[in-house]
Amino acid sequence: MSLSLRPFIFTPDDVPLVVDVELARKNPALAVLSAICHGGDAAVDAMFPALAAALQSVGPGTAISYYDVVLAGLPLAAQTRWVAFMTTTADQEFISERLRKLVAENQAIGETRGEARGHLRGEARAVLLVLEARGVTVPAESRERILTCTDRELLDLWAHRAATATTITDLLAP
């Protein structure tokens, strides 16, 4: 006995943009699929009220799952608008605990990276301030190299050299 598989393939053009609230309530899965398929369309915002109604028509567990799927499937700009819409119109929160944890973890990672970049920029600026105080001319190309440096050890080396450098070559020498 052999099994014949016939995959069902469709494009966003095959899925309607669900803007009718009643249709979304009757078929919430279609509303979710529609949001994902049309997430990049300019008209996607027009379906937000219907999508919200679809989420409210299912049980809390399913609503949270659908919300997470929509968030994962929408492009970033549409995600932002969808979250803003739901924040201002929904009387309940739909985000799952798992997604909430992922968001918190990513925010923490982003904050840590931002702090690290801030420290590096601060050290680079300190190198330039020391050179300026010592009267060392810093050409634009060298200034850019110092300001964009992401190697903490190299910045530390430059900070030590800046205290005694009389030229930019003294600072940047290998």
Kindly state the tokens that stand for 121. Answer: 């920029």
What is the per-residue DSSP string for 81-138? Answer: HHHHHHHHH-SS----HHHHHHHHHHHHHHHHHHHHHHHHHHHHHHHHHHHHHTT---
- 12-26, 74-88, 142-156: lowest mean pLDDT where? 74-88
Q: How does residue 100 score in pLDDT terms, banded at 50, 70 and 90?
A: low
Q: What is the pLDDT of residues 16-65, one digit of tens each?
A: 999 999 999 999 999 999 999 999 998 899 999 999 999 989 988 888 88
Would you tell me how many other CB atoms lie within 10 Å of the CB of residue 30?
15
| Average pLDDT taken over every residue of the chain | 88
Distance CA 139, CA 84 (A): 46
What is the structure's pLDDT at 35?
Answer: 94
What is the structure's pLDDT at 138?
Answer: 95
Nearest to 22 by CA among 59, 54, 48: 54
Q: How does residue 113 score in pLDDT terms, banded at 50, 70 and 90?
A: confident
Q: Are 143 and 112 in contact (CB under 8 A)?
A: no
Domain locations along the chain: 12-97, 112-172
Which pTM does this prediction carry? 0.54
Distance CA 134, CA 137 (A): 9
Residues 6+ apart with CB under 8 A from 127: 146, 155, 158, 159, 162, 171
